[in-house]
Structure 1
Amino acid sequence: MADERNRLKISDENEASPERWLLSYSDLVTTLMVLFLALYAIQLAKNRELEVKMLETTHSVKAQSASAAASPNAGDARARTELLSLLKALHDKGQININEEPDGVEIAINARILFHAGDAHLLPDSYDVLEQVAAALKDHSTHNILVEGHTDSTPIATAKYESNWELSSARAGAVVRYFVDQGIEPHRLAAIGRSDNIPLMIGDDAAARAANRRVTILVQY
């Protein structure tokens, strides 16, 4: 009888064993699921923190870029104002004309101050004007300077200058060389001959021709 009870007890334990295994397995799976959920939540938090830091960095870089972009513009505005102030005396004496352009300041010098008719050698009397202009450009401009020679519409044909193209180019080059001698960096300067293609005054009378013979200096900002 006792043996029979022992056999029944062993049989009951064998039948219950699979259920206990399933319970243990279920507990393990639940624990792993909780662990993975916790890890996932931690990773989400880290990703969110990283995104916030990246956004903050982006905003900081944009702000610095905007500040850096605004600074040169402010500096250019000051330099432009100071340049105009320095050139005012020459303008008031009628030695130069000044026009403010969207991309800079244009300084026009009548050719009679700079050259003899049909020639591209600077007159000694022009040095004072050019020296003052060069000093102002050297101290209050860091950008490119475009020097353009302009003639009137009267054709020219000499042994030295076959046309107004050569004459206007030579005159622009003479002013550029003088500026280089005064200490302005050569890489900032360019000389261009315009001949009679951009007249300041329309007409073929003496007043129009005199006004159109000039050298213009475009100071870019």
Structure 2
Amino acid sequence: MAVPVKPPPQEEKEDWLVTYSDAITLLMAFFVMMLTFAEFDIPAFEEAAAAIKDKIGSSDDNASPTEKLKIDLEDVVFQMQADRAVQVTKDSKGVVIELSSGAFYKPGSAELREEAVPYLEKIAQTISAPRYATYNVQIEGHTDDEPISTERFPSNWELSTARAATVVRFFDDKDFVDPLKMSASGFADQKPKVPNRTEDGTPIPENQATNRRTAIRVTAMSLKEREVWYQHLATLRAKAEEAKRAKEAAEGQGQAGQPPAEGQQAPQQGQAAPEGQPPTEGQLPAPAQQ
């Protein structure tokens, strides 16, 4: 009986690899494009990272930078015993520090009370710590619904904006926060925390006092803002180095042109000047040694 002959194996066609590789390339290009145009929510990312660390049992401190900032500020408020005038909360964007207008400003004015300055300095020192260098500081002014009409503040819009600008200027003058990271805005009585009046229009003094506030929002920079911030720091460093070199050059020229010190006689004519000093008038330089 004849043994059946096996047919020769047919070569597998790999034409499908071309289509597959094209599809993978297109998918990669698509995701790269999505990543390029994406806007990352830094605080949300930090919270998610902290939650993952907590789930996997990481031994590191699981608190996110935003949560650490909130804890640091709460410690400051506790140490200063300022919980009645300062409130620290956290929302989806970052940390919010609310200052009671009655405790920090003079009535109907944007001028800071003298007794409030140490508290504001301590808050500024906390939010300007190096660990929070990539955080923006947004100052918001708020008032109650009682109208104001003065020469300087025709309405609550001007008053709320001026109070926010006062805090920004304070942080800037004291060199606590870089101006690039700060902004000031006023909302008058348009964003109350609680109702200013009852349904029949009767004022609620406690609620009005709550609504008179200045909010300091400390939020993490976006990726684009961080790029601008790092470029700004590089520019500042370059300017500082240039100023240092100019100062050293000026000091060197000043030392070279200084007159002889007291008790030191100027070289006589025909006598070489001391090393490092130029010849005096009427004095010939010493011949150079061969």
Q: Which TM class, normalised by the smaller chain length? A: 0.5 to 0.7
User: Does the CA-based 8 Å contact 2:96-2:217 persist in structure 1?
Assistant: yes
Match of 1:193 in 2: 186
Residue 148 (1) aligns with residue 156 (2): no
Match of 2:238 in 1: none
Which secondary structure does the structure 2 equivalent of 1:105 belong to?
Answer: strand
The count of corresponding residues between Structure 1 and Structure 2 is 172
User: Does the CA-based 8 Å contact 1:161-1:167 persist in structure 2?
Assistant: yes
Q: TM-score, normalised by structure 1?
A: 0.65
Offset of residue 141 of structure 1: 4.6
Q: Aligned letter for 1:97?
A: Q
Q: Aligned letter for 1:207?
A: E
Match of 2:176 in 1: 183
Offset of residue 154 of structure 1: 0.6
Offset of residue 156 of structure 1: 0.3
User: Does the CA-based 8 Å contact 1:80-1:141 persist in structure 2?
Assistant: no
Residue 121 (1) aligns with residue 111 (2): yes
Residue 161 (1) aligns with residue 161 (2): no
Change (3 A) 1:78 1:133: same
Change (3 A) 1:180 1:206: same
Match of 1:171 in 2: 163
Distance of 1:85 and 1:164 partners within structure 2: 33
Residue 132 (1) aligns with residue 131 (2): no
1:87 paired residue among 53, 70, 73: 73
Match of 2:87 in 1: 97
Q: Aligned letter for 2:217?
A: L
Q: Aligned letter for 1:213?
A: R
The equivalences for 1:69-84 within 5 A come to 73-74=45-46, 78-84=64-70
Which secondary structure does the structure 2 equivalent of 1:121 belong to?
Answer: coil
Q: Aligned letter for 2:72?
A: L
Offset of residue 135 of structure 1: 1.2
Offset of residue 99 of structure 1: 1.8
Match of 1:24 in 2: none
Unaligned 5+ segments in structure 1 are: 1-43
Change (3 A) 1:148 1:105: same
Distance of 1:165 and 1:81 partners within structure 2: 32
Which secondary structure does the structure 2 equivalent of 1:156 belong to?
Answer: coil
The answer to which structure, 1 or 2, has the higher relative contact order (CA under 8 A, 6+ apart) is 1
Unaligned 5+ segments in structure 2 are: 1-14, 51-62, 198-202, 221-290
Q: Which runs of 4+ in 1 moved over 4 A?
A: 69-77
Residue 205 (1) aligns with residue 204 (2): yes
Distance of 1:155 and 1:183 partners within structure 2: 34
Deviations 1:44-74 (A, max 9, x none): 9xx9xxx7xx98xx7xxx8xx9xxx899944
2:99 paired residue among 104, 109, 115: 109
Match of 1:218 in 2: 217
| Greater helix share, structure number | 1
